[in-house]
């Protein structure tokens, strides 16, 4: 359904160049980011008690085209089992069209992503931690914040994601299985009939902006999988945001300034930029950071970090979508 090689080529070709900086500044940023991933993960482990016995490894620093190619490869690995191969004479044409469209999206996102942990990336598909150097430099310059502090702060977030998947042994396979269920259902035509969709309209109207078009088009089975994935991704993003701010005051002196300016930057952009972000779900992603961080803070305040770490015991201890919005309900379910 998607020609991922073409998606990578298209995105890498169309992505805009990074900021113009002296060579020595670019080299220093690359070295700094690579080394700071090791320092950052050490701080994250001390706070979370996750992965204390794992080796401390540096991350990889890439440019924008490098991120596009890595993202395309990771998406291919994640969805490859579920997406059917297009047969017939029009199969390659359809896959190519989807590849070009995906490449356009990746090109747009490549100028905004600061870093990413891809649990399915790398030569052996065992995980890959990436920092996008030109985007980090552009962000710290635009916000006028100390470069070293901001780079460490970004690394704290991404290293938290790496620990989530490397320290919690079942999480990677669980996430892949859930994505496969969702993609297979959509690709297999599992969406309900028009009559079913019309029947759900009253509830959709009642919920208003809480229910988006994608959810309306899903069958109840697909919606259940979608809800689990949404709750999980909200937890992962919010947990990482909580950790980067909780560690910050001890190791990032300007963390309060960085957080304030970064939050403003997340919501910025012109009309066209905001429209694209809404269409691509970037604004929904921002809400995930906020909702997940609120969940994490409430639970840690109520039962401590060890009590919070009960989320990682098994898929059954993950919060539901409703519990993300009502963390006290999760605390009652897990801790009586």
Which tokens is 88 given? 């017939």
CB 227 within 8 A of CB 212: no
225, exposed or middle or buried, with CB in 10 Å at 0-12, 13-18, 19+? buried
Structurally, how many domains does the chain consist of? 1
For the CA atoms of 206, 271, 265, 136, what is the dihedral angle to 10 degrees? 120
CB 292, CB 238: distance < 8 Å:
yes
* C-alpha to C-alpha distance for 10 and 4, rounded to whole angstroms: 10
CB 19 within 8 A of CB 141: yes
C-alpha span between 312 and 219 (Å, rounded): 29
Whole domain around residue 211: which residue ranges? 4-335
Q: What is the pTM of this model?
A: 0.85
Bridge partners of 116, per DSSP, are 130
Residue 23's Cβ-count burial label (10 Å; 0-12, 13-18, 19+) is exposed
For residue range 223-261, list pLDDT tens digits in order: 888 889 989 999 999 999 999 999 988 899 999 999 999
Query: Which pLDDT band, with edges at 50, 70 and 90, does 301 fall under?
Result: very high
pLDDT in tens, 256-277: 999 999 988 876 655 555 555 5
């Amino acid at each position: 359904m998607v020609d991922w090689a073409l998606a990578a080529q298209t995105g890498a070709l169309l992505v805009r160049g990074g900021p113009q900086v002296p060579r020595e500044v670019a080299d220093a940023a690359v070295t700094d980011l690579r080394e700071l991933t090791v320092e950052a993960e050490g701080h994250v482990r001390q706070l979370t008690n996750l992965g204390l016995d794992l080796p401390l490894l540096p991350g990889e620093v890439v440019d924008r085209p490098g991120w596009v190619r890595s993202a395309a490869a990771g998406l291919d690995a994640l969805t490859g089992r579920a997406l059917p191969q297009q047969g017939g004479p029009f199969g390659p044409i359809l896959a190519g069209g989807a590849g070009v469209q995906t490449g356009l999206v990746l090109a747009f996102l490549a100028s905004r992503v600061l870093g990413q942990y891809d649990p399915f990336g790398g030569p052996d598909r065992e995980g890959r931690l990436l920092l996008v150097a030109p985007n980090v430099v552009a962000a710290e310059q635009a916000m006028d914040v100390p470069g070293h502090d901001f780079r460490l702060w970004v690394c704290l977030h991404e290293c938290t994601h790496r620990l989530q998947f490397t320290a919690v042994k079942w999480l990677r396979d669980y996430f892949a299985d859930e994505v496969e269920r969702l993609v297979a259902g959509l690709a297999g035509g599992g969406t309900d009939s028009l009559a079913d969709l019309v029947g759900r309209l009253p509830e959709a109207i009642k919920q208003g902006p809480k229910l988006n078009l994608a959810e309306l088009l899903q069958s109840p089975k697909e919606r259940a999988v979608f809800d689990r994935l949404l709750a999980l991704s909200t937890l992962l993003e919010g947990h990482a945001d909580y950790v980067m701010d909780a560690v910050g005051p001890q190791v990032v002196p300007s963390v309060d300034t960085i957080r304030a300016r970064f939050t403003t930057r997340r919501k910025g952009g012109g009309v066209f930029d905001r429209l694209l972000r809404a269409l691509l779900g970037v604004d929904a992603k921002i809400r995930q950071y906020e909702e997940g961080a609120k969940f994490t803070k409430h639970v840690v305040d109520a039962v401590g970090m060890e009590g919070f770490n009960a989320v990682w015991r098994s898929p059954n201890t993950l919060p539901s979508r409703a519990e993300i919005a009502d963390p006290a309900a999760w605390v009652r379910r897990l801790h009586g």
